[in-house]
Chain A
Amino acid sequence: MTDYGHDLLFGAFITPTAHPVRQAVDLALVADRSGLDLVTFQDHPYQPRFYDTWTLLSYVASQTSNVHVSGNVLNLPLRQPAVLARSAASLDLLSGGRFAFGIGAGGFWDAIEAMGGRRLSPGQGVKALDEAIQIIRQIWDTESPGGVRVDGTYYRVSGAKRGPAPAHDIPIWVGAYKPKMLELTGRAADGWLPSLAYLPGGFADITEANKRIDDAALRAGRDPALVRRLVNIGGQFAAASHGPFNGPPGQWAEELAELALDYGTTGLILAADDAYSIELFASEVGPAARQLVTDERRRRGTATPNEGE
């Protein structure tokens, strides 16, 4: 039973398919118009049926006006951390602060190596991500003196200039499942971004992972509430209930409220490739879930002053 008290974010996880050419962009426009907070795309640069996610994110940001965009999650091994940091700052500047940095350590190493990337063991991948996050944060931090210096095992940056500073404090969200990645998330990230489908124990796994993240945050002298918990959810809307995340909008709202209130998960991202589901999620599920969470927090006396307006 954890509630970190964050406001709720509702997002869409849209397949970055390259065909039909406009499908992913048009769905993102639907998300933007219908009031979702976030549009995200998976990133698999070795997959030719998908768009390059960085390019798609940038294009979508330029065609939308309110929605934030994020990789879900970006593939670090095939992207140069310092260039990625400047690209992220650039997109944040161009979009007026609408970028979030979802990042992962990489998983499909055969494919990564075939694309010209470096093969790492899972443990090495965590270390590499740790180093990359340091580089990225230093590049964005134009207040500190001197150049960027990270003398890592996997990435070395020696005196590169800092900047540009992004338009807003870009959150770094990490796609993590295993203990070391969760610890890195607690220590160094601003958010945890898993997919419910990859958590075999379901909600119970969230509780367990939250504890690892919280412990790591505390060990690093951070408030665990600095780490937002997000989750990708697949499911269906139906007139009657057929099971978890398979039923009418009211059922979804209750399930999401439970995720927020009892599992601390407030970034709620729907995996969907149709306009109907995205609109329903934005117009019915989101507001209903927000109301349930606000009411319950009020009842518990944990409501923050800016909530419930």
Chain B
Amino acid sequence: MNYGHPLQFGTFITPTSTTPAAPVALARLSEQLGLDLVTFQDHPYQPAFLDTWTLLTWVAGRTERVHLAANVLNVPLRQPAVLARSAASLDLLSGGRLDLALGAGASWDAIEAIGGRRLAPAESVDALGEAIDIIRGVLDAGEARPLRHAGDHYRVGPVQRGPVPRHLIPIWLGARKPRMLRLIGEKADGWLASIGSGFLDPSDFRSGNKIIDEAAASAGREAADIRRLVNVSGRFGPAPRGFLDGPSEQWVDQLLPLVVEDGAGTFNLMADDQRTIEQFAHEVVPALREAVDRELASPLPTAMPRSSTVRAKRREGIDYDGVPESLAASAAEPGDVDYARVRSNYLRGGSPGLVLRPRNTAEVVDAIAYARRHRHLPLGVRSGGHGISGRSTNDGGIVIDVGYLNSIEVIDEAARLVRVGPGARWKQVATALEPYGWALTSGDYGGVGVGGLATAGGIGFLGRRQGLTIDHLRAAEIVLADGSIVRADETENVDLFWAIRGAGANFGIVTWFEFQVEPVGEVGWAQLVFGAGDTAAVLQRFGRAAIEASRDTTAFLIMGPPRGGQPAVAQVMAMVASDDPAVVVDQLQPFAQIAPLLQQQVVIVPYAAVMAMAPDAEHLAEGEPVSRSAFLKQITPAFAAAVTKLLNSGQVYFFQLRTVGGAVADVAPDATAYAYRDAAFSVVAVGTSRRRLDEAWDGLRDQFDGLYLSFESDPRPDRLADAFPPKTLARLRELKLRYDPDNLFRDNFNVDPATETS
């Protein structure tokens, strides 16, 4: 039978140590010829060979596309847990090109002679079974509990799992006897068989497959979970002589039944001469592909289908088989290795049922069409995954992650127009603009993604000079709920252009933003730490200094609770848009006097250097953030006193005041969906208990003037009226009815079209 696996071709190259460049050259040749896989045998007791792991790694550094595997790795001489971490390492470094092929060991005299442990054949199979469990356990980094394995041959644990490999590394076993074949059926992802003189003959291959299939069925697995790989050797010649000994056409005829009738998915050519490999690649591979296509009813897939184990983790209500072809390869579902990387965001844990990762506008259209068929499930849209309010992850729903749409392109240098994908991070944008002497205000952290921030507002360190990030938006391309692709700017889809500048999450997915950016030289960047024992006074003095500062200076203040019996400290981060040290010092002077200065660091750096401080961390958050937001016109004594109480209570572990005003207030409140233009501060408090933080925050309502939706996690519906003043909200409802009447985009400050405009 054929198992419906992709048909692939590889080489099996002797890892000779006498001419170390030779196997490397043949590996590179294999890649140049378009083959899929390069393999080397592994016999650590054989000094005529290079160490196979070292060679595989070396070759990984000298190739770009081809997959790599030992054929097969000698497990008795390699420590399974270390091997697993090594495998994850090589997979990451090579961009997901490592496949693991393991053997139980055979040359026991030689293994023992170099310090390995002699095992009886049956024991070695058991030991290999344990090694597979350990390797899978280490590689299963999505599992939080440490790995423990107490077996007859190996004892491991407790150890932390990881690192997470780039791709789901398959484990194939080299085998010829029934016990090993049964182990494959129980645990492995593939069988590496060698067919030819001195090895198995084609009928042995068939009977071996039968043993594997039966063992798989008894283990509750599917035969199609297991790939069949065949090492073949032979020679090309003008006259037909024997099995794989003759002209290319004869090779094709002899390999064809192994695919069609016995399900071989990969053929590795055992050869060390260039001409044989070339003839195989040029004449056998394409002809065999064609012949297989002719013989089989349906074409073979190009990627290995997900195994029954992976599929077992699927969530209900999702049409996994109906994922559009364009998105299938990059989609991540709960059983996938990539899932650990995409399930959570920066602050919020999640367990979505499917994460779609479009790479272009057309794929965003496909993703939205797919989401429309899943209206019964939550839909999250994610750019950088830093959103506090936005549900860019969920439980059992769908997430459209536009992280791959991360291009940054200067489209008109004279006009300083830059086109940026929603998946780019602000630190990347800053770095791309720096060589031009330009900068665009963003937020306070370079790891934040463009899409979420640029559809909400963008309150950053150049805000008082440049305004909000959205104030620099000149045009955007949006995919709407019905799948149409539209451009919005000052003349086209003007209403939509208004709406996406402050309430974008309700209207579609932006696939690019066009910003007009400003010339900005190096800037003064200050990090000041103050003793804030007199918290209320510090807040008020900071407030005055921040408001009175020139537009070139934008300052943010961060506080936490007093810790360890020590008085509280306040951290002020301020940017002065000037590269003149005298100006910078002068501008900072009023801030230096708000409280006793404990530490200070002031440097003149590019804006990009400030953004670059954010590390490239993966998002592995758990739980739900509890965050409240508000806009303030000033820091009143009552507000300062209330915040002091809140901080002293320990309920709030992060409190931040961001100064706005300046250029932000130059824009009319009705010019964009972001309406609170006259606020002087944006405030955020992050706490541990939703109930207690809500109590405190709700008590301060009369101090507040709206909120910034990006920092608000309160799910109560009346927050919507805080996020948008009545006139803005009314217009948003109207537009929502027009652009998303079925309310597909509803996870982030949803303007529900079904609600009557009052």
Query: Which residues of A come within 8 Å of B, CB atoms?
Result: 18-21, 23, 25, 45-46, 48-49, 51-52, 54-56, 58-63, 78-83, 86-87, 89-91, 93-95, 111, 114-117, 135, 139, 142, 147-148, 155-164
A18 interface neighbour in B77, B89, B112, Cβ under 8 Å:
B89
A90 interface neighbour in B17, B61, B155, B616, Cβ under 8 Å:
B17
Contacts of B14-61 to chain A: CB distance below 8 A: 17-18, 20, 24, 44-48, 50-51, 53-55, 57-61
Complexed CA–CA distance, A61 and B57 (Å): 10
Inter-chain contact A90/B50, CB cutoff 8 Å:
yes
A116 interface neighbour in B20, B46, B116, B155, Cβ under 8 Å:
B155
Complexed CA–CA distance, A87 and B162 (Å): 24
Q: Which 3 A-B pairs have the closest CB atoms?
A: A62-B61, A163-B47, A48-B162
If the complex has contacts A80-B116, A114-B158, A160-B113, are A20 and B616 also in contact, measured as CB distance less than 8 A? yes
Specify which chain B residues have a CB less than 8 angstroms from the CB of A95 in the assembled complex.
58
Complexed CA–CA distance, A52 and B79 (Å): 12
Nearest neighbor of A135 in chain B, beta-carbon distance: B115
Specify which chain A residues have a CB less than 8 angstroms from the CB of B93 in the assembled complex.
21, 25, 51, 55-56, 59
Specify which chain A residues have a CB less than 8 angstroms from the CB of B77 in the assembled complex.
80, 83
Most chain B Cβ neighbours within 10 Å, of A91, A117, A156: A91
Specify which chain B residues have a CB less than 8 angstroms from the CB of A82 in the assembled complex.
44-45, 114-115
A56 interface neighbour in B59, B81, B89, B156, Cβ under 8 Å:
B89
Specify which chain A residues have a CB less than 8 angstroms from the CB of B108 in the assembled complex.
none
Specify which chain A residues have a CB less than 8 angstroms from the CB of B53 in the assembled complex.
54-55, 58, 87
Specify which chain B residues have a CB less than 8 angstroms from the CB of A86 in the assembled complex.
44, 47, 51
Q: Closest Cβ of chain A: how far from B85's Cβ, in Å?
A: 5
Complexed CA–CA distance, A230 and B618 (Å): 36
Is B217 part of the binding interface, using a Cβ–Cβ cutoff of 8 Å?
no
Is B78 part of the binding interface, using a Cβ–Cβ cutoff of 8 Å?
yes
A51 interface neighbour in B112, B157, B163, Cβ under 8 Å:
B163
Inter-chain contact A46/B159, CB cutoff 8 Å:
yes
Complexed CA–CA distance, A19 and B80 (Å): 23
Nearest neighbor of A163 in chain B, beta-carbon distance: B47
Contact with A along B158-175 (1 / 0, CB 8 A): 111111001000000000
Inter-chain contact B44/A63, CB cutoff 8 Å:
no
Complexed CA–CA distance, A58 and B93 (Å): 11
If the complex has contacts A52-B85, A157-B115, are A80 and B78 also in contact, measured as CB distance less than 8 A? yes
Specify which chain B residues have a CB less than 8 angstroms from the CB of A45 in the assembled complex.
81-82, 85
Complexed CA–CA distance, A117 and B48 (Å): 28
Specify which chain A residues have a CB less than 8 angstroms from the CB of B46 in the assembled complex.
161
Nearest neighbor of B63 in chain A, beta-carbon distance: A62
Complexed CA–CA distance, A81 and B116 (Å): 10
Specify which chain B residues have a CB less than 8 angstroms from the CB of A18 in the assembled complex.
88-89, 92, 162-163
Inter-chain contact B47/A79, CB cutoff 8 Å:
no
Inter-chain contact B24/A160, CB cutoff 8 Å:
no
Q: Closest Cβ of chain A: how far from B498's Cβ, in Å?
A: 38
If the complex has contacts A147-B113, A164-B47, are A55 and B89 also in contact, measured as CB distance less than 8 A? yes
Is B559 part of the binding interface, using a Cβ–Cβ cutoff of 8 Å?
no
Contacts of B85-107 to chain A: CB distance below 8 A: 85-86, 88-90, 92-94
Specify which chain A residues have a CB less than 8 angstroms from the CB of B88 in the assembled complex.
18, 52
Inter-chain contact B90/A55, CB cutoff 8 Å:
yes
Inter-chain contact B54/A94, CB cutoff 8 Å:
yes
Contacts of B113-128 to chain A: CB distance below 8 A: 113-116
Inter-chain contact A90/B55, CB cutoff 8 Å:
yes
Considering only CB atoms and an 8 Å cut-off, how many residues of chain B contact the other chain? 58
Specify which chain B residues have a CB less than 8 angstroms from the CB of A58 in the assembled complex.
53-54, 57-58, 61
Complexed CA–CA distance, A43 and B37 (Å): 30
Inter-chain contact B85/A93, CB cutoff 8 Å:
no
Contact with A along B715-752 (1 / 0, CB 8 A): 00000000000000000000000000000000000000
Inter-chain contact B57/A55, CB cutoff 8 Å:
yes
Inter-chain contact B47/A117, CB cutoff 8 Å:
no
Nearest neighbor of A154 in chain B, beta-carbon distance: B115
Specify which chain B residues have a CB less than 8 angstroms from the CB of A94 in the assembled complex.
20, 24, 50, 54-55, 58
Is B154 part of the binding interface, using a Cβ–Cβ cutoff of 8 Å?
yes
Inter-chain contact B163/A19, CB cutoff 8 Å:
yes
Nearest neighbor of B146 in chain A, beta-carbon distance: A114
Specify which chain A residues have a CB less than 8 angstroms from the CB of B20 in the assembled complex.
90, 93-94
5 contacts between A and B (CB under 8 A): A19-B616, A49-B162, A62-B57, A62-B60, A163-B47
Q: Closest Cβ of chain B: how far from A58's Cβ, in Å?
A: 4
Contacts of B327-343 to chain A: CB distance below 8 A: none
Complexed CA–CA distance, A142 and B48 (Å): 12
Specify which chain B residues have a CB less than 8 angstroms from the CB of A93 in the assembled complex.
17, 20, 50
Inter-chain contact B54/A87, CB cutoff 8 Å:
yes
Inter-chain contact B44/A164, CB cutoff 8 Å:
no
Complexed CA–CA distance, A300 and B93 (Å): 49
Specify which chain A residues have a CB less than 8 angstroms from the CB of B58 in the assembled complex.
58-59, 61-62, 91, 94-95
Complexed CA–CA distance, A139 and B113 (Å): 12
Is B617 part of the binding interface, using a Cβ–Cβ cutoff of 8 Å?
yes
Inter-chain contact B115/A80, CB cutoff 8 Å:
yes
Inter-chain contact A116/B154, CB cutoff 8 Å:
yes
Q: Closest Cβ of chain B: how far from A65's Cβ, in Å?
A: 12
Inter-chain contact A87/B51, CB cutoff 8 Å:
yes
A48 interface neighbour in B54, B85, B155, Cβ under 8 Å:
B85
Inter-chain contact A62/B62, CB cutoff 8 Å:
yes
Nearest neighbor of B58 in chain A, beta-carbon distance: A62
Complexed CA–CA distance, A162 and B113 (Å): 11
Complexed CA–CA distance, A82 and B161 (Å): 27
Specify which chain B residues have a CB less than 8 angstroms from the CB of A51 in the assembled complex.
85, 89, 92-93, 163
Beyond contacts A52-B82, A52-B85, A164-B48: 8 other A-B pairs, Cβ-Cβ < 8 A, are: A18-B89, A20-B616, A51-B89, A59-B60, A83-B78, A89-B51, A114-B156, A117-B79
Complexed CA–CA distance, A160 and B46 (Å): 9
Inter-chain contact A21/B92, CB cutoff 8 Å:
yes
Specify which chain B residues have a CB less than 8 angstroms from the CB of A87 in the assembled complex.
51, 53-54
Is B141 part of the binding interface, using a Cβ–Cβ cutoff of 8 Å?
yes
Q: Closest Cβ of chain B: how far from A208's Cβ, in Å?
A: 35
Nearest neighbor of B157 in chain A, beta-carbon distance: A114
Complexed CA–CA distance, A185 and B179 (Å): 48
Specify which chain A residues have a CB less than 8 angstroms from the CB of B162 in the assembled complex.
18, 48-49
Q: Closest Cβ of chain B: how far from A279's Cβ, in Å?
A: 16
Specify which chain B residues have a CB less than 8 angstroms from the CB of A55 in the assembled complex.
53, 57, 86, 89-90, 93
A115 interface neighbour in B44, B54, B62, B82, Cβ under 8 Å:
B82
Complexed CA–CA distance, A90 and B161 (Å): 29
Q: Closest Cβ of chain B: how far from A3's Cβ, in Å?
A: 36
Inter-chain contact A83/B51, CB cutoff 8 Å:
yes
Inter-chain contact B163/A161, CB cutoff 8 Å:
no
Inter-chain contact A160/B163, CB cutoff 8 Å:
no
Complexed CA–CA distance, A54 and B54 (Å): 8
A157 interface neighbour in B54, B81, B113, Cβ under 8 Å:
B113
Inter-chain contact A48/B161, CB cutoff 8 Å:
yes
Nearest neighbor of A56 in chain B, beta-carbon distance: B89
Inter-chain contact B79/A116, CB cutoff 8 Å:
yes
Q: Closest Cβ of chain A: how far from B89's Cβ, in Å?
A: 4
Contacts of B672-691 to chain A: CB distance below 8 A: none
Q: Closest Cβ of chain A: how far from B116's Cβ, in Å?
A: 7
Specify which chain B residues have a CB less than 8 angstroms from the CB of A62 in the assembled complex.
57-62
Inter-chain contact A116/B81, CB cutoff 8 Å:
yes
Q: Closest Cβ of chain B: how far from A144's Cβ, in Å?
A: 13
Nearest neighbor of A142 in chain B, beta-carbon distance: B47
If the complex has contacts A79-B82, A157-B114, A161-B46, are A52 and B89 also in contact, measured as CB distance less than 8 A? yes
Inter-chain contact A159/B113, CB cutoff 8 Å:
yes
Inter-chain contact B113/A158, CB cutoff 8 Å:
yes
Inter-chain contact A59/B90, CB cutoff 8 Å:
yes
Most chain B Cβ neighbours within 10 Å, of A51, A55, A163: A55
